[in-house]
Amino acid sequence: MTHKREIQGFVVKIAGDKTASIVVERRVMHPRYHKVVKRFKKYLIHDENNTLKVGDEVVAVECRPLSKTKSFRLQNVVKGAE
């Protein structure tokens, strides 16, 4: 059994049918200044039922490539948009 990578982030765009774009923030230590800085990366995730809205906080899990840039699918919604 292989370990699937999980990412958690916020929906920033509904990018077409059954696809949403999320932004994932991670905090890393700056190598020279030893200060914690934020790094951001966007991922496309597969939303089978088109349930996501902009602002939702979601968890996505790695899966087989579904398109050229989409390799994650929606696992659950942590918090809905207000």
Residue 68 above 90 pLDDT?
yes
CA 16/CA 47 separation, integer angstroms: 10
> Which residues constitute the domain of residue 17?
6-79
Domain of 68, CATH number, reads 2.40.50.140
pTM: 0.87
For residues 33-60, one letter each, b for 16 or more C-beta atoms within 10 angstroms of the residue's C-beta and e for the rest, the string is eeeeeeeeeebbbbbeeeebeeebebbb
How many domains, in total, are found in the chain?
1
Q: Are strands 57-62 and 19-29 parallel, antiparallel or unpaired?
A: unpaired
Average pLDDT of the residues of the chain: 94
In percent, how much of the chain has pLDDT > 90?
87
- Is there a domain that residue 20 lies in? yes
Segment 1-37, tens digit of pLDDT: 678 899 999 999 999 999 999 999 999 999 999 999 9
In percent, how much of the chain has pLDDT > 70?
96
Per-residue pLDDT, averaged over 51-79, amounts to 95
- Is there a domain that residue 30 lies in? yes
58: left (phi over 0), alpha (psi -120 to 50) or beta: beta
- Is there a domain that residue 1 lies in? no
